[in-house]
Structure formats: structure tokens, C-alpha cells
Copies of this chain bind each other. A is one copy, B any other.
């Protein structure tokens, strides 16, 4: 398993916020209480609190405290890459424990003791890492929102007009 339920729940949460905001600018959308999304997605509220905290620290959602408070997207859905969402929830995405991406794009593996003896596996994990990050970075929250809306629309019409 690549990701835990943290990513699953967190992404669902973000999609829910995106759907409720609709086309209105995120700044002006009404904040959505966590209890609302918990009920809609059948997720435990107390657990969601931990996840949304991470999303807030990553500046992906903003919060409004007090009664009638809640959360909303910090940016328009189209500007939110799912890579950022997942990394906020799960930490830096890496295929292996020993795999770290340095700032300069260099890849380090804790198994290469010095610089000389390269892991044979480095080539493989680098490719996998590239595949994952490419998929995550290339998908925006807006895409998922549209996907969810489309699915909900077809579900509302049990018999398409044929």
C-alpha cells in the first residue's frame, strides 16, 4: 500500500470543500463545518480534525473559528495540485524509506555509504518516484471535483434518455 487512509480521507475532504464552493471564489465561499463533511462522506469527525489540521498548516485550507465557522479552500481548486495535498497529509512521498529527494533534485539513498557505491536499486526507485509524483502533480483538485460532480449527475439519472 502506497498511502494510508490519511490521504484517502483528506482528499475526500478537499473534494467536498471544492464541490460546495462551486464556482464562487474561495474567499467568498461559506465555510463548511467539519461535521457536515464527516456526515456526507461517512467519516469519523474526530479523525478528520487531525487531517484538516495538516491541510491548514500547509495553507491548503483556511479556517473560520466559532459558531457558523468551518473550512474552505485557501486557493481556487484549479491551483491546488494533489501532490501538495497528499504530501501535506502523508509527508514527503517516497517509494522507500531510504529514498530522499534533496533540494537540488539530487536523489540520495541512505544505503550508498559514500558517494561512490550507488544502490543498484536507485534507478528503479527513481523511476517509480517519478511516476507517482508526475501523476499527483498533474492532477488538480478541480479535476476531481468535476469528476465527482459528473458521477453524481449520472447517478441522479438512473435511466439516461437512451
Contacts and interface: CB of A to CB of B under 8 A. Distances in A.
A89 to B, nearest CB: 12
Interface residues of A, number: 46
Interface in A71-125: 82, 93-98, 111, 116-124
A82 B121 CA distance: 10
Interface in A131-162: 131-132, 134-136, 138-139, 143-145, 147-148, 151-152, 154-155
B132 A120 contact: no
A151 B120 contact: yes
Identical subunits present: 2
Nearest to A151: B118
A120 B94 contact: no
Interface of chain A: mostly helix, strand, loop or mixed: helix
A96 B135 contact: no
A55 interface: no
A115 to B, nearest CB: 9
B96 A12 contact: no
B120 A148 contact: yes
A67 interface: no
A11 interface: yes
Interface of A: 1-5, 7-8, 11-12, 15, 82, 93-98, 111, 116-124, 127-128, 130-132, 134-136, 138-139, 143-145, 147-148, 151-152, 154-155
